[in-house]
Amino acid sequence: MASASSNFVSSIIFCLVLALGVEAKPTSRAFFVFGDSLVENGNNNYLLTTARADAPPYGIDYPTRRPTGRFSNGFNIPDLISQQLGAEATLPYLSPELTGARLLVGANFASAGIGILNDTGIQFLNIIRMYRQLEYFEQYQRRVSALIGAQQTKRLVNQALVLVTVGGNDFVNNYYLVPFSARSRQYSLPDYVKFLISEYRKLLQRLYDLGARRVLVTGTGPLGCVPAELAQRSTNGGCSVELQRAADLYNPQLVEMIRGLNNKLGRNVFIASNTQKMHYDFVSNPQAFGFVSSKIACCGQGPYNGIGLCTPLSNLCPNRDLYAFWDPFHPSEKANKIIVQQILSGSTDYMTPMNLSTILELDSRT
């Protein structure tokens, strides 16, 4: 029955695609992306902000060899997930090209610099905060309804895969941005983490209320071990103790919050991805993954290439695949591939309650 109805959706979409004069392609499930620079693919190019990746050498290994707004030398995590779904990459929501049949592929609402909290990333001025990304998701659904009707839109959203990556900036670009930041005077670290988790829970509940039914939620990476933090805070080459403490407090509580939310909803809507552990694996043993270094950024300057931004004037490594970090904060395409492989087929140490292959398999049967 369900497969008959999904055939029905496919034929509607197929007709629509023909009607819109776009070349027909096999339809796969839609994909929606929310969050920060780890998953943005170009929204900030359309905004007045310093948080952007639209100049070389960003994109140097992307198929076009040009910057796109992705904070990567090549593909980012959403691109690699789209490839696994057999789908085209989603367009940034603010792209003028996101119209007609292209809307049915999904959309990427992510914006570099944002956090769970509204006051995270204020130094970047005009960025799309989480509440606003969710408002855009509502607007998106109204636009798609005008094309295929409310009922088919609801089905498209319910059957979609969603990725949310947010939280790192609430530490790096808020609590720890400056000594004695407003939030650090207001909260001890453990209380701040509790506050973040409770605010995050509201955002995820809102996403559910807006129709999302399969949502991958990534934790933070090992915040204290990124080249930027090594350059600023490390004394002996080790990770920043304070930021590692933050990641160690936050990530397990995120998993617990997700477990609770799923229990309340009575179904496994949210899937926690332990990106801290995935990332930590190659931070602790880079050679096992083919990296010469997991401490030095490929593009940057100063100690660990961790100071300032990646720009045309920065040092640039000749082979990006040999580095876990592309710039002072963001993984290389090669590291993103390893992370997505774990999202797909990792054990329950990495994916709670199950990995993406299992989800895709389950969803194809219902």
Ligand X SMILES: *[C@@H]1O[C@H](CO)[C@@H](O)[C@H](O)[C@H]1NC(C)=O
Chain residues that interact with ligand X, rule: CB under 6 A: 118, 131, 199, 345, 347-348, 354-355, 357-358
Question: What are the helix (H) ranges across 112-172?
Answer: 130-148, 150-158, 168-170
Task: Please say which residue, 90 or 342, places its beta carbon nearer to ligand X.
Answer: 342
CA angle 166, 170, 172 (to 5 degrees): 110
Letter string b/e over residues 91-130, b meaning 16 or more CB atoms within 10 A of that residue's CB: bbbbbeebeebbbbbbbbbbbbbbbbbeebbeebeebbbb
Q: At closest approach, how far in Å is the CB of 132 from ligand X?
A: 8
Contact of 160 with 32, CB cutoff 8 Å: yes
- Residue 111, SS3 per DSSP: coil
CB nearer to ligand X: pick between 159 and 358: 358
In the complex with ligand X, which residue's Cβ is closer, 159 or 357?
357
292-315: b or e for each residue (b if 16 or more CB lie within 10 Å)?
ebbbbbbbbbbebbbbebbeeebe
In the complex with ligand X, the residue whose CB is nearer, 64 or 347, is: 347
Minimum distance from CB of 354 to ligand X (Å)?
Answer: 5
- Alpha carbon distance 361, 256 (integer Å): 25
Cα distance between residue 111 and residue 134, in whole Å = 12
User: What is the distance between the alpha carbons of residues 30 and 251, in angstroms, rounded to a whole number?
Assistant: 28
Which residues of the chain form beta strands (DSSP E)? 31-35, 106-108, 161-165, 215-218, 270-273, 299-300, 315-316, 351-352
- Whole-number minimum distance, CB 339 to ligand X, in Å? 15
Three-class SS of residue 217?
Answer: strand
Of 150, 153, 139, 85, the C-alpha closest to 109 is 139
Smallest gap from Cβ 93 to ligand X, in A, equals 18
Which residues, at least 6 apart from 279, have a Cβ–Cβ distance to it below 8 Å?
221, 222, 225, 324, 331, 335, 339
Q: Please identify which of the residues 61, 82, 330, 332 carries the catalytic annotation.
A: 330
Identified catalytic residue from 36, 37, 273, 294 = 37
53 versus 196: smaller Cβ distance to ligand X: 196
Q: Smaller CB distance to ligand X: residue 160 or 271?
A: 271
Which is the catalytic residue, given 36, 61, 170, 327? 327
User: Is there a cis peptide before residue 286, judged by omega within 30 degrees of 0?
Assistant: no
Catalytic residue at 330? yes
* Residue 88: DSSP 8-state: P
Single-letter amino acid, residue 34: F
* Minimum distance from residue 345 beta carbon to ligand X (Å): 3
User: Residue of minimal CB distance from ligand X?
Assistant: 345
Looking at beta carbons only, is 104 or 116 nearer to ligand X? 116
Minimum CB separation of residue 110 from ligand X in Å reads 17
User: Would residue 37 show up in a list of annotated catalytic residues for this protein?
Assistant: yes
Q: Catalytic residues, which ones?
A: 37, 327, 330
